[in-house]
Structure 1
Amino acid sequence: MPVESQRLTHAEMFRGFFIAGLSGFGGVLPFARRIVVERRKWLTEAEFADLFSLCQFLPGPNIVNFAAAFGARHRGISGALTATVGLLAAPIVIVLILGTLYERFGTLPVVHHGLGGLAAAASGLILGTALKIAGPSLRHPATLGIVVFAFVLFAVLRLPLPLVIAIALPVSLGLAVFRVK
């Protein structure tokens, strides 16, 4: 847990995650990473990657898990709730408004074309963020090998995610032990 003087306030966390949730509607991860790592420097690239990796193993949306874990790290349960509410407040309101508009105008061709463009932009954001998050892992040959290995198991061989984790985790731990010695 961070030292008392380094702990973020509830207001700082709410504001940071609210901005991420508002900015990244439809793809919050790139904006959350930018705010937490690049702008506010609350975490280093490696710390972000480690915490986000942990959150990917938990049930539920990864970025919500990240907000809760990050908040808990700084302010316990109240911090987890603050960061999570900050992250979700704006998107919930926006989804309700857009859902109402889609119900009314969703059959128009211009709406379908617009959604296609949004899907392409979201794909680019996800790819860019994935490369940034992978940055610390790509600097070490052993971890780069694990990235390629897991990719092949999942994307090429199409193994289910739990099986990929069950296979890659022992290999990764073995390499980590070997690297420490």
Structure 2
Amino acid sequence: MITCGDYGSCLSNTNFEATTTCSVTFYFEAIRRLLAATGRKRALAAALLWDKVGLALYGRPWSRLTPAEQAHLRAQVDAIAVPAGWAREAGRDGDQYIRPLPVDAAAARRRLQQFLARQNGRPVAADNLIYQAQLGAYGRGFYSDELAPALQAILAETLQTHGYHPTP
């Protein structure tokens, strides 16, 4: 496989086959960077990636590729996404690449401890605790009340340490 230092050298190459291989290699590197740089995003539409790679690799969008070309393309994108910590999941709106957010356990524990200390033993709503745990762990809150297992354990431990008992 031909490799290039940058996209400009690919464009200046006069050999069409080498240029095509080079631009596809460059495009896959761009996908690697995109998957690595999405930071706090949890999901990325697979069709978006597949369409762009289809255009780069075959000169046609995803919808115009044969089933064999689509399978080949999926395998190549998966080969980049999986080592970067992403997993492809089927959803009702199509496949997505999902990556769990990293939990900053120390910050979550500290945020929860500070919040509970301010409450001074008063009853606390579950949604407030979830929001505080999310702020500590991720630096932001979410509209979902879903917590990662590691964050659930931190919350339970912190509640117990401060003398709180969950009620239904």
Using the size of structure 1 for normalisation, the TM-score is: 0.31
Higher strand share: 2
Using the size of structure 2 for normalisation, the TM-score is: 0.33
Higher helix share: 1
Larger RCO, structure (CA 8 Å, separation 6 or more): 1
